Amino acid sequence: MQFYLETDRLIIRNVEEKDIQGIFELDSDIEVHKYLGNRPIQTTQDAASIVKYIQDQYSNNGLGRWAVIDKNTNEFIGWSGLKFETEVRNDMDYYDLGYRLKRKFWGRGIATETSMIALKYGFQDLKLDSIYAGAHVENIGSNKVLEKVGMKRIEVIQYDGMPHNWYGVTKSDWNQ
């Protein structure tokens, strides 16, 4: 899978080895991990493992998270996109919408913009029937993004010992 897209302000592409330092900066930030189990990574080797995990998704599942790059500065902002998820829920496998951005890029609409691109790609290009997402109940920003892009809250689930709002949207209910 090779993915590349430019918007007015972003480059969205496959995650590459050159993103290891950006992944480290992102995932070593305790605030970024506040609603993710408070387990930030400790080394660039941990970041390299994340890059490999994402790249394995490309080859194993035909899709995976994308790197989000600032078009003007070429800075790694974070990642966004879809992945095929088999571990979060033991009652179903599904296509998951997710995003994670460096803290300094929060509140700029980037998660919303890239999520809309991911939903469009999932429904129009991949012909998926449904896409799901979860967000910790106290993560107000992430919950707002999911609602803004047209996902509907279905229920509250326990994940990693914490309550998460569970969202979904079907192709027929999605507003392009």
Concatenating the DSSP letter of every residue in 7-68 gives -SSEEEEE--GGGHHHHHHHHT-TTTTTTTTS----SHHHHHHHHHHHHHHHHHHS---EEE
Q: How far is CA 89 from CA 47, 95, 125, 150, in A?
A: 25, 12, 25, 22
Closest to 119 measured CA to CA, from 48, 58, 170? 170
User: In CATH, what number does 4-170 get?
Assistant: 3.40.630.30
Q: Which residue has the tokens 């998951």?
A: 96
The total of other beta-carbon atoms located within 10 Å of residue 13's CB is 16
Q: Is the pTM of this model over 0.85?
A: yes
Distance between CA atoms of 122 and 118, rounded to whole angstroms? Answer: 6
For 52, the 3-state DSSP assignment is: helix
Q: For residue range 61-94, list pLDDT tens digits in order.
A: 999 999 999 999 999 999 999 999 998 888 899 9
**Residue 123 — very low, low, confident or very high, per pLDDT cuts 50/70/90?**
very high
**What pLDDT does residue 59 have?**
95
Q: Please answer whether residues 119 and 111 qualify as being in contact, where contact means their C-beta atoms are separated by less than 8 angstroms.
A: no
Is residue 37 very low, low, confident or very high in pLDDT (cuts 50, 70, 90)?
confident
Task: Report the 10 Å Cβ neighbour count for 58.
Answer: 18
Can you give the pLDDT at residue 96?
97
Residue with token string 């994402």: 54
